[in-house]
């Protein structure tokens, strides 16, 4: 008789889950202000101040081993560690009772056709490209992190699934999402089922994920691109000068680089220091995780990378992969593994179909207590624009409605606010901050950061009493950049004339681009930026129970990794969604071993525009980057709480064509 297994939670401590940067484009527009929210400084000693809203919590998920900073934390971190909540649960395997097994079998017999899976099937998932933190409908294109993770959990319980065949192709997501998936691979293997990885292109991010599989194969012709990581910025000042455009920038915060693309031709020393630190965090964690997985010293791993690996055979020779096999050979191997003796193809169920299998069918529906999860992904705007596609970003007026609905409902015992955003409209961020604060006054709220929660994204998170981030989440960025263009020389070159009639001393401050700012206008411009920065900094200090002086040390526009933000008080806990859920249960006084229902408040429903967009994108091959240009051109207005463009990637991850598209997107955003 087949056994049905359940994964049960048990506590564990440290985490080394990498979480990193995707491409984030800062787009200052003509006649607009750009504000952002930074992070802490290495020397900030944090003192927990009493607050009716914020409860100090420090908890870190499990990892291969503690880092030097975790072994020897700062005095402030040590003080806070004494007030820890239980750490997030790890998975243990437990056999279900016969009654539950019988109920599951009956549900499978009456399941609709789109949820039926043949016994002995292999779940085939292909991970490639962008991975959204939002749920997707069946008509949406691309992959969804929640559905990927849910598929791992369902497959672990499903007696019809023998194992998982994981195709890993080049990824364009941050390290946080990669870590969340990696965690689920490790947990799935505890069910006793196999995970076999197949990797035709081997880059750092892909290998970091793939090495968690029990077995890893690559074709003999696989591309090997293990060359290291880079961080870069682009600068447009030289281009602007050639066409006669003079940017007038007020940057508040020595680490705030949001205006540098316009105002500078090279990196400032402060930004170089900031980016170097972030790069060290990412690369150091990569080395640590790979060395722990392979059982090699970090020096061996780094030496292998620095030797210039380009032959896939070396990966096999030195124990990085299991063997060199083509896809059909791996599937033949899997047929033998699952005992399929017929001549038909391997029995498989793909990601899309398995995503439609109900958790209830497998007996995974939780108990009576409900915890809401509100997802907020993408750039922040206040209202929907005409070109906005469903799920294309955070629209404040819509998110506020959801927050109010959850606040007014008595059925939700706690709320997890899941954030994956580089920021956007500052006014919209503040309005959502207020609603999240009101929500936190009525029930426990935990903010869970994904790849990035910086600037406006951090503004939202800091409204929650508890913030959880992955180790390499990009966060902070508390600073302000104000800018406008002077087009005088440009207009002269093209023989264009512009005349303005005005009433009021400063009426032309944002309207007159045909001349430089007058001295009194420049003074007002600077004071306005200083005031905007002070408002953001002071609100961040109040939200995080810090003094203004303490927040000033960790602000000034600096972007931090989640781990560094944790040691400086901007983040309370290091971990993923499971960590946030464990804390939410504790704050809601729900026993840690009691099942709950995690209700997706932001769950999308298919709309006609989305269906047509998905079909059109599939048929016409419309590049998502081009769609992004049109989207951003219609959403950038007012004060911007947005993180600047930072790119952490392997040199081989982006084609020249995509780099050009992104540069064009940058330029079009600036001139919007």
% residues pLDDT > 90 (the chain): 45
Same domain as 562, residue 421: yes
Same domain as 390, residue 419: yes
Highest-scoring range by mean pLDDT, 218-222, 231-235, 307-311, 493-497: 218-222
Band (pLDDT 50/70/90 cuts) for residue 499 is confident
Beta pairing, strands 573-574 & 201-202: unpaired
**pLDDT(638) > 80:** no
Same domain as 522, residue 411: yes
| Element (DSSP H or E) covering residue 451 | strand 445-454
The Cα–Cα gap between 641 and 380 comes to 9
Same domain as 325, residue 419: no
The Cα–Cα gap between 25 and 39 comes to 19
**pLDDT(542) > 60:** yes
- Greatest CA span in the chain, whole angstroms? 86
Start-to-end CA span in the chain (Å) = 65
For 504-537, write each residue's pLDDT tens digit: 888 888 888 888 888 998 888 888 888 888 888 9
Total domain count, the chain? 2
Same domain as 382, residue 332: no
Q: Nearest Cα to 181, choosing from 604, 577, 653?
A: 577
| Element (DSSP H or E) covering residue 323 | strand 323-324
Same domain as 179, residue 129: yes
Average pLDDT over residues 319-340: 95
Indicate the residue among 300, 331, 360 that finishes a domain: 360
Domain assignment present for residue 612? The answer is: no
Domain assignment present for residue 102? The answer is: no
Tokens 């681009």 locate to 513
Question: What is the pLDDT at residue 13?
Answer: 31
Range of the domain at 422: 368-500+509-603+623-642
* Residues with Cβ within 8 Å of residue 420, at least 6 apart in sequence: 133, 375, 376, 377, 378, 449, 450, 451, 452, 453, 457
Helix (H, G, I), strand (E, B) or coil at 373: strand
Same domain as 471, residue 355: no
Domain assignment present for residue 459? The answer is: yes
The order of strands in the sheet holding 380-381 is 246-252, 478-486, 32-37, 640-642, 423-425, 380-381, 394-395
Same domain as 587, residue 557: yes
For 124-178, write each residue's pLDDT tens digit: 999 999 999 988 776 667 899 999 999 999 999 888 999 999 999 999 999 999 9
Cα dihedral value 224, 210, 574, 42, nearest 10:
-10
Same domain as 348, residue 204: yes
Domain assignment present for residue 429? The answer is: yes
Beta pairing, strands 412-421 & 445-454: parallel
For 205-222, write each residue's pLDDT tens digit: 999 999 999 899 999 999
Same domain as 385, residue 332: no
**pLDDT(182) > 50:** yes
Domain assignment present for residue 530? The answer is: yes
Same domain as 402, residue 351: no
Q: Do 87 and 8 form a contact (C-beta atoms < 8 A)?
A: no
Average pLDDT over residues 77-83: 41
Q: Characterize 244-283 residue by residue with b for buried, 16 or more Cβ atoms within 10 angstroms of its Cβ, and e for exposed.
A: ebbbbbbbbbbbbbbbbbbbbeebbebbeebbebbbebbb
Q: Nearest Cα to 393, choosing from 360, 430, 423, 361?
A: 423
Tokens 């995509």 locate to 658
Domain assignment present for residue 449? The answer is: yes
For 105-114, write each residue's pLDDT tens digit: 777 776 777 6
* Partners of 421 in the β-ladder: 453
Question: What is the pLDDT at residue 387?
Answer: 52
Q: Do 423 and 645 form a contact (C-beta atoms < 8 A)?
A: no
Comparing 278 with 633, which gets the higher pLDDT? Answer: 278
| Element (DSSP H or E) covering residue 663 | helix 656-670
* Helix ranges (DSSP H) in 97-200: 98-109, 145-157, 175-189
* Partners of 246 in the β-ladder: 486
For 357-385, write each residue's pLDDT tens digit: 888 878 777 677 999 999 999 998 988 76
Quote the tokens at residue 194: 């196999």
Domain assignment present for residue 551? The answer is: yes
Comparing 405 with 621, which gets the higher pLDDT? Answer: 405
Active-site annotation, residues: 256, 455
* Partners of 37 in the β-ladder: 478
Q: What is the DSSP string of 63-116?
A: -SS--HHHHS--HHHHHHHTTPPPPPEEEEEEEPPHHHHHHHHHHHHT--GGG-
| Element (DSSP H or E) covering residue 539 | helix 519-543
If one counts every other C-beta atom within 10 angstroms of the C-beta of residue 607, the result is: 14
Average pLDDT over residues 621-631: 41
Indicate the residue among 360, 379, 402 that finishes a domain: 360
Q: What is the DSSP string of 340-358?
A: --SSSPP-EEEHHHHTTS-
* Partners of 479 in the β-ladder: 36
**What CATH number does residue 330 fall under?**
3.90.226.10
Helix (H, G, I), strand (E, B) or coil at 124: strand
The Cα–Cα gap between 519 and 539 comes to 30
Same domain as 429, residue 390: yes
Average pLDDT over residues 324-328: 96
Quote the tokens at residue 513: 């681009």
Question: What is the pLDDT at residue 641?
Answer: 63
Band (pLDDT 50/70/90 cuts) for residue 605 is low
The Cα–Cα gap between 569 and 46 comes to 6
Question: What is the pLDDT at residue 178?
Answer: 95
Domain assignment present for residue 629? The answer is: yes
Comparing 672 with 141, which gets the higher pLDDT? Answer: 141
């Amino acid at each position: 008789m087949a056994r049905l297994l359940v994964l049960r939670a048990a506590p564990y401590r440290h985490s080394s889950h990498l979480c990193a940067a995707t491409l984030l484009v800062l787009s200052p527009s003509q006649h607009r202000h750009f504000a952002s929210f930074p992070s802490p400084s290495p020397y900030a000693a944090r003192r927990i101040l009493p607050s009716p809203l914020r409860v100090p919590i420090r908890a870190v998920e499990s990892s291969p081993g503690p880092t030097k900073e975790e072994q020897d934390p700062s005095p402030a971190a040590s003080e806070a560690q004494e007030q820890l909540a239980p750490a997030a649960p790890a998975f243990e395997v437990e056999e279900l009772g016969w009654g539950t097994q019988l109920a599951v079998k009956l549900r499978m017999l009456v399941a609709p056709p789109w949820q039926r899976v043949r016994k002995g099937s292999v779940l085939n998932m292909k991970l490639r490209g962008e991975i959204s933190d939002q749920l997707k409908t069946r008509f949406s294109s691309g992959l969804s992190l929640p559905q990927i993770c849910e598929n791992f959990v369902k497959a672990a319980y499903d007696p019809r699934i023998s194992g998982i065949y994981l195709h890993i192709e080049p990824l364009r997501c941050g390290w946080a999402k990669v870590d969340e998936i990696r965690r689920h691979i490790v947990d799935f293997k505890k069910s006793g089922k196999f995970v076999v990885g197949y990797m035709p292109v081997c880059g750092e991010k892909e290998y970091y994920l793939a090495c968690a599989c029990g077995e890893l194969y690559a074709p003999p012709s696989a591309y090997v691109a293990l060359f290291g990581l880079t961080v870069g910025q682009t600068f447009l000042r030289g281009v602007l000068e050639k066409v006669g455009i003079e940017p007038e920038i007020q940057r508040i915060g020595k680490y705030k680089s949001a205006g540098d693309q316009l105002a500078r031709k090279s990196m400032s020393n402060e930004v170089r220091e900031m980016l170097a630190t972030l790069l060290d965090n990412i690369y150091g964690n990569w080395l640590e995780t790979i060395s722990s997985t392979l059982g090699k010293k970090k020096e061996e791993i780094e030496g292998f990378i620095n030797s210039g690996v380009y032959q896939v055979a070396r990966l096999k020779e030195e124990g990085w992969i299991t063997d060199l096999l083509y896809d059909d050979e791996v599937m033949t191997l899997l047929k033998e593994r699952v005992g399929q003796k017929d001549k038909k193809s391997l029995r498989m169920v793909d990601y899309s179909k398995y995503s439609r299998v109900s958790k209830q069918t497998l007996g995974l529906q939780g108990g009576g207590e409900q915890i809401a999860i509100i997802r907020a992904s993408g750039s922040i705007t206040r209202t929907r624009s005409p070109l906005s596609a469903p799920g294309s970003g955070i629209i404040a007026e819509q998110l506020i409605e959801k927050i109010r609905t959850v606040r007014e409902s008595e059925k939700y015992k706690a709320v997890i606010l899941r954030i994956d955003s580089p920021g956007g409209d500052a006014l919209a961020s503040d309005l959502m901050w207020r609603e999240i604060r009101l929500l936190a006054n009525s029930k426990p709220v935990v903010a869970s950061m994904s790849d990035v929660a910086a600037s406006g994204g951090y503004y939202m998170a800091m409204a929650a009493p508890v913030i959880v981030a992955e180790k390499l989440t990009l966060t902070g960025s508390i600073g302000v950049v104000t800018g406008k263009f002077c087009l005088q020389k440009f207009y002269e070159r093209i023989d264009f004339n512009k005349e303005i009639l005005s009433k009021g001393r400063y009426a032309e401050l944002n309207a007159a681009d045909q001349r430089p700012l007058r001295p009194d206008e420049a003074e007002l411009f600077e004071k306005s930026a200083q005031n905007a920065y002070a408002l953001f900094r002071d609100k961040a200090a109040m939200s995080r129970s810090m003094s203004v002086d303490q927040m000033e040390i960790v602000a000034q526009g600096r972007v931090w990794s989640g781990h560094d933000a944790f040691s400086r008080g901007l983040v309370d806990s290091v971990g993923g969604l499971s960590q946030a859920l464990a804390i939410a249960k504790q704050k809601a006084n729900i026993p840690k071993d009691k099942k709950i229902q995690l209700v997706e408040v932001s769950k999308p429903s298919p709309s006609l525009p989305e269906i047509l967009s998905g079909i059109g994108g599939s048929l016409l091959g419309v590049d998502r980057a081009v769609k992004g240009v049109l989207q951003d051109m219609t959403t950038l207005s007012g004060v911007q709480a947005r993180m600047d463009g930072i790119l952490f990637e392997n040199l081989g991850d982006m084609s020249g064509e995509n780099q050009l598209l992104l540069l064009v997107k940058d330029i079009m955003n600036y001139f919007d």
